[in-house]
Chain A
Amino acid sequence: MLEAIDLECVRGERTLFSGLNFALRGGELMRVAGANGSGKTSLLRIVCGLLFPEQGSVRWRGENVRTLREEYGKELVYVGHSNAVKDDLTAAENVTVSCTLSGMEPDRDRVHEALHGIGLAGCEGLPARALSQGQRRRVALARLLLCGHAPLWVLDEPFAALDAQAIERVQALISAHVARGAAVVYTSHQEARLPATHTINLAGAASDR
């Protein structure tokens, strides 16, 4: 389903990686590992079509993701490095907006349910600026509970800033999603307890040009 062909990424004057290939089918989980600055986020942004690779292409069901655009957006859930959480909006409003952008029309109850599910019960009406870093991360991740239909998840450091309990929760979500036959790509520098079918280690690939 998801296929990367001969990817090369250059940031500034540094080649982060080149000649990167992988193919991911439904029901498979890929972990991207590597040190800080090795290009994990860049790779994920290329996979999403946000970043233009210096060379090569990413294909989704055989088509280049740069030409698919919103068609790809309908099938993809991307949780980025930044939480995309607005300080001035409440937790519930933030989740509603992000789900609507993903093409869903969540009602109040489902949003509250999702916030409960991610461990934010009672915070629905609080403005996001009153939340802690970990809680904001949970607001961003609450979307995973609502957009379970998307066949591809791309998660950039989903466990960052989360406590042990929340990490377990998110890991369970990911496993369940993979079991449903979806593909998941995620980065993490913590040792993962998730059984990844593919692992890409970028540390070795990074080199100066």
Chain B
Amino acid sequence: MSQPSLVVGNVNWFKYASPQSFYPLAGAMIPWFAWAAAALCAAGLYVGFFVAPTDHQQGESYRIIFIHVPAAWMSMFLYLVMAFWAGVGLVFNTRLSHMMASALAPTGALFTFLALWTGSLWGKPTWGTWWVWDARLTSELILLFLYFGFMALKAAIDDPRRADRAGAVLALVGVVNIPIIYYSVEWWNTLHQGASVSLTRAPTMAATMLTGMLLMALAAWMYSIAASLHRVRSVILERERGADWLRAL
């Protein structure tokens, strides 16, 4: 891969966009995001359970969307962010971006699993079956495999630098493939089932339902930031054990 490109006066400045300066910064940011997540989650649950009306078609079971939809959004979004950091790390050879990518993966996998679990629990009362080979559920399942693949590859390689870069290539290959997978599955699904079922909500969604969903999505977002910042701090501690600044910590 190419060398880091921002080299001025024989100093690689990217090296100093460094774990060392990021570690305390992340530590200072975590409480803010964590509290924001808690507050937004409380507000979202309140709106979702006590303000939003009963759905006239699905009854109360629709209240699962307040976690299902945010989880599904986060699962895809986190994969994109992870691939972004992996790509940055590959191009500029910055350790911190690789660490960010590995810190995001478990949280992304968690949300992917939650999207599947809640989707299935929602599907049972709605469609009468735990699982449909709907395009979204199926792509979500494959997304989960991609997350697992990324983590398994990184875990299997001993040399952290090689693990970072190999993981990055895999994440980028995955990100190219996700839309292809999604549209293939969707096409396949419409051919086989005539698009009889779809996870998309009826267009007439009460404003309060939407509010609750957005609040929960924001909460999930804040939570993801807090959790991955926390994890990246652990990764820094594990990786940079030999560094002088950590010994002084």
Contacts and interface: CB of A to CB of B under 8 A. Distances in A.
Direct A–B touching, Cβ under 8 Å: yes
Contacts of A55: 12
Interface string A162-206: 000000000000000000000000000000000000000000000
B159 A13 contact: no
A39 B10 CA distance: 24
B124 interface: no
A57 B10 CA distance: 10
Interface string B230-244: 000000000001100
B159 A67 contact: no
A151 to B, nearest CB: 23
> Interface residues of A: mostly helix, strand, loop or mixed?
mixed
B6 to A, nearest CB: 14
Contacts of A64: 3
Contact of A209 (B2, B10, B159, B242): B242
Contacts of B93: 52
A6 B10 CA distance: 10
Interface in A46-65: 52, 55, 57, 64
Given A12-B159, A52-B161, A66 B242 contact: no
B248 interface: no
Given A12-B159, A52-B161, A57 B3 contact: yes
A66 B3 contact: yes
A67 B2 contact: yes
Nearest to A57: B3
B207 interface: no
Interface in B176-195: none
B1 interface: yes
Contacts of A57: 3
A55 B3 CA distance: 10
Contact of A52 (B1, B10, B241, B242): B1
Given A12-B159, A52-B161, A67 B242 contact: no
A66 B2 contact: yes
A67 B3 CA distance: 8
Nearest to B158: A12
A20 B215 CA distance: 56
Contacts of A12: 159
A64 B4 CA distance: 11
Interface string A85-110: 00000000000000000000000000
B108 to A, nearest CB: 28
Contacts of B242: 13, 209
A6 B15 CA distance: 15
Interface in B1-30: 1-3, 10, 12
Interface string B89-106: 000010000000000000
16 contacts: A6-B10, A12-B159, A13-B241, A13-B242, A52-B1, A52-B93, A52-B161, A55-B12, A57-B3, A64-B3, A66-B1, A66-B2, A66-B3, A67-B2, A67-B3, A209-B242
Interface of B: 1-3, 10, 12, 93, 159, 161, 241-242
Given A52-B161, A55-B12, 14 more contacts: A6-B10, A12-B159, A13-B241, A13-B242, A52-B1, A52-B93, A57-B3, A64-B3, A66-B1, A66-B2, A66-B3, A67-B2, A67-B3, A209-B242
